[in-house]
Chain A
Amino acid sequence: MPGSPAELATALRATGYLADDGLATAAYLAMQMNRPLFCEGEPGTGKTALAQALAQTTGAELIRLQCHDGIDAGQALYDWDFPRQLLHLRSLEAAAGVDGAKLDADSVEASLYDERFLLARPILRALQTTPSVLLIDEIDRADDEFEAFLLEVLTEHAVTIPEIGEIRATTPPIVVLTSNRTREVHDALKRRCLYLWLDHPDVNREIEILHSRLPDLPEKLAAQVAGAAHKLRQSDLIKPPGVAESLDWARALQLVGARHLDVESAARTLGAVLKYREDADRVRNQLDALLAS
């Protein structure tokens, strides 16, 4: 367990994740205060990657819950394996038929709702696994009922299963929630979390990120890609590129054997950075300006 935000930043750096002061402080506080970390920001600013890096740094297992419209407790928490329960019941009956013994209803029921028939979904699994990092990805896609249900789990670090009782985490998992702000998440949930807004990195940090992820990338190319991505973000596109897109772009340039970013190589690999036809058309006409520096 790192003793300060700076130590945590160093540990994260070793995994290839470059955290600035704010991010390191946020992650450090989340661990020290046992509070979930609520990460918001433009897509591609490293929200999901943060959870992965934290898991790697702390040697914890990363358990991911992808939220979607209509997600409910059965998909997130636990469910009973009904078919296996039924089979179990049938085999009990068959055995009783052979022996001629009478089945005791209570003990049958107890054996049916045994933990071995419990299907642990991501949240329960995160509570049972020590240590673990629970990533609740894109919480803005789930609905209000689901948020309300998360409140209990995130503050108590425990769930109650009627047939079994309370399951409590021995060590609370590190919880990272991400949101792309497609919808406002309820304040009750945010209040229980630390709030981290992630921006796109500045050019220098992005160059560092490119280097740490793609060690073979020539220095000049990294600087050019970061510079161009920075300009693209300021030029009012439908979908400005995130760090993930810069990484894709750098990889694509390496694959086509480009040694530096020029009009030709940029035109060939533009699909790695820009995901809208309108954006691509616009940028293709101004490649000279984009690459000039």
Chain B
Amino acid sequence: MARTSPPTPADTDAEAGGDPVLGLVGFAEVLRSAGVPVTTDRVAAFLQALDTLDVTSRMQTYWAGRLTLCSDPDDIVRYDLAFEAWFEPAQGGRTRVRDDRPPPAPKLASLAPTREGEGEDDEQEAGPEIKAAATGTEVLRSRDLAELSGAEREHLRRLLALLRPEPPTRASRRKRRSRHGEADPDRTLRAALRNHGELSDIRRRDVSRRPRKVVLLIDVSGSMEPYADALLRFAHVFVRRSPRSVEAFTLGTRLTRITRELRQRDAERALTAAGKAIPDWSGGTRLGEVLAAFVNRWGQRGAARRAVVVVFSDGWERGETELLGTQVQRLSRLAHQLVWVNPHAGKDGYAPVQGGIVAALPYLDQLLAGHSLDTLEKLLKVVRDA
């Protein structure tokens, strides 16, 4: 899909001769290029909504669009910006669209603002990043994954794409027909009805198996950079294989959900999209805080409940490890199994002595290496059997 630069109100007005409908469709185009997935049926709903409302009211126009074109809290942030840009060009008096309401909790959970007197020694590097993260719109450091090269890497990519991850399963509450198991009154009676009320045999039903949720948390901070590309590809294969039951997030200076991006079929596109979504590529890390953000925003609500949670990280923690310890503990209470994959764990002479790993270790079900294709395959087995 070729994407041209978004039209400006002036362009479209000239084209449309002032037709308001075309103007609104142009607005939809701006939104689309801002990253809101606007489909034509959504635009149709938008126009229909405007038909029902008072188009001359700025408030009603705003809500007509927000209710029909957005489908996610992240969309709303982008929508607000696009709306202001389109309906209130910069030269006009800038009235604020929304009053002093706080922005909706974004899925790209910003971290808590920097606390004074904590980890002063790395403030220089982490300070501005965290502050920027708190604004929620910036791209701290982005990197084009397509620029990676090297024959071996290319080869590894192909091998990674060939992995066939199997999600673990769990018993479902939904029963299915079976020869064994408990009697199924519905089907037994239905069969009897067909048989003029003669109960000839008892039909049975048994529990069915459903895929268990899997959550991949990938550390993309500087120290994990050499592995990040391979791990994201690994995540892509996993998400593609079971798009409904696998969630992927990156951990850096903040938490980023990349499941949506990784659902695209094409690996390169998916990785480019994920790379764009990750604002803190190979920046610093505050593992404890980012894990807390994950557990609060996602884990506790359901994503990690009774799931197999895999953390890919070297456990390098700048700050206090106490927070990391409590968050890993919370995560292990929520999860069915908690697996930690540390690329360094596969190296000779490795001992889990770094502060972060020591704090996490008591709560882990397994600590695995993840530095090679072999070890990633082993991980797949562990996840499948979880």
Give the distance in Å from the alpha carbon of A181 to the alpha carbon of B105 in the complex: 12
CB < 8 Å neighbour of A197 from B39, B52, B73, B301: B73
Give the distance in Å from the alpha carbon of A33 to the alpha carbon of B45 in the complex: 9
Q: Mark B196-231, 1 if CB is under 8 A from A, else 0.
A: 110000000000001000000000000000000000
In the complex, whether B70 has a CB less than 8 A from a CB of chain A is yes
A140: chain B residues at CB < 8 Å are: 302
| Size bin of chain A's contact surface | 35 or more
Task: Return A38 CB to nearest CB of chain B, in Å.
Answer: 8
Q: Does more than half of chain B's interface fall in helix, strand or loop, or is it mixed?
A: helix
In the complex, whether B373 has a CB less than 8 A from a CB of chain A is no
A191 touches B303 (CB 8 A): no
In the complex, whether B25 has a CB less than 8 A from a CB of chain A is no
B174 touches A199 (CB 8 A): no
Give the distance in Å from the alpha carbon of A90 to the alpha carbon of B193 in the complex: 10
CB < 8 Å neighbour of B102 from A90, A184, A197, A199: A199
Q: Which residue of A lies closest to B326 (CB)?
A: A278
A69: chain B residues at CB < 8 Å are: 172-173
A82 touches B186 (CB 8 A): yes
Give the distance in Å from the alpha carbon of A190 to the alpha carbon of B42 in the complex: 10
B104 touches A236 (CB 8 A): no
A197 touches B76 (CB 8 A): yes
Task: Return A241 CB to nearest CB of chain B, in Å.
Answer: 14
Give the distance in Å from the alpha carbon of A144 to the alpha carbon of B242 in the complex: 13
In the complex, whether A238 has a CB less than 8 A from a CB of chain B is yes
Q: Which residue of A lies closest to B175 (CB)?
A: A70
A182 touches B67 (CB 8 A): no
Task: Return B306 CB to nearest CB of chain A, in Å.
Answer: 10
Task: Return B28 CB to nearest CB of chain A, in Å.
Answer: 14
B302 touches A182 (CB 8 A): yes
CB < 8 Å neighbour of B63 from A22, A184, A202: A22
Task: Return A189 CB to nearest CB of chain B, in Å.
Answer: 10
In the complex, whether A187 has a CB less than 8 A from a CB of chain B is yes
A86 touches B67 (CB 8 A): no
Give the distance in Å from the alpha carbon of A83 to the alpha carbon of B185 in the complex: 9
A40: chain B residues at CB < 8 Å are: 73
B174 touches A72 (CB 8 A): yes
In the complex, whether A228 has a CB less than 8 A from a CB of chain B is no
In the complex, whether B59 has a CB less than 8 A from a CB of chain A is yes
A197: chain B residues at CB < 8 Å are: 70, 73, 76, 104
Task: Return B177 CB to nearest CB of chain A, in Å.
Answer: 13
B301 touches A181 (CB 8 A): yes
Give the distance in Å from the alpha carbon of A21 to the alpha carbon of B60 in the complex: 8
A47: chain B residues at CB < 8 Å are: none
Given known A-B contacts A42-B105, A199-B102, A238 and B296 have beta carbons under 8 A apart = yes
In the complex, whether A194 has a CB less than 8 A from a CB of chain B is yes
Given known A-B contacts A70-B173, A93-B196, A195-B70, A82 and B112 have beta carbons under 8 A apart = no
In the complex, whether B126 has a CB less than 8 A from a CB of chain A is no
Give the distance in Å from the alpha carbon of A199 to the alpha carbon of B76 in the complex: 12
In the complex, whether B137 has a CB less than 8 A from a CB of chain A is no
Can you list 12 pairs linking A and B with CB atoms under 8 Å apart? A21-B59, A25-B59, A25-B64, A32-B52, A69-B172, A70-B172, A83-B185, A86-B192, A182-B302, A195-B68, A197-B73, A236-B112
A183: chain B residues at CB < 8 Å are: 302-303
A93 touches B39 (CB 8 A): no
Task: Return B129 CB to nearest CB of chain A, in Å.
Answer: 19
A194: chain B residues at CB < 8 Å are: 45, 49, 67-68
Within 8 A of A (CB), among B39-80: 39, 41-42, 45, 48-49, 52-54, 59-60, 63-64, 66-68, 70-73, 76
Pairs of residues from A and B, 7 with the lowest C-beta to C-beta distance, nearest first: A182-B302, A70-B173, A82-B189, A25-B63, A70-B174, A89-B197, A194-B67
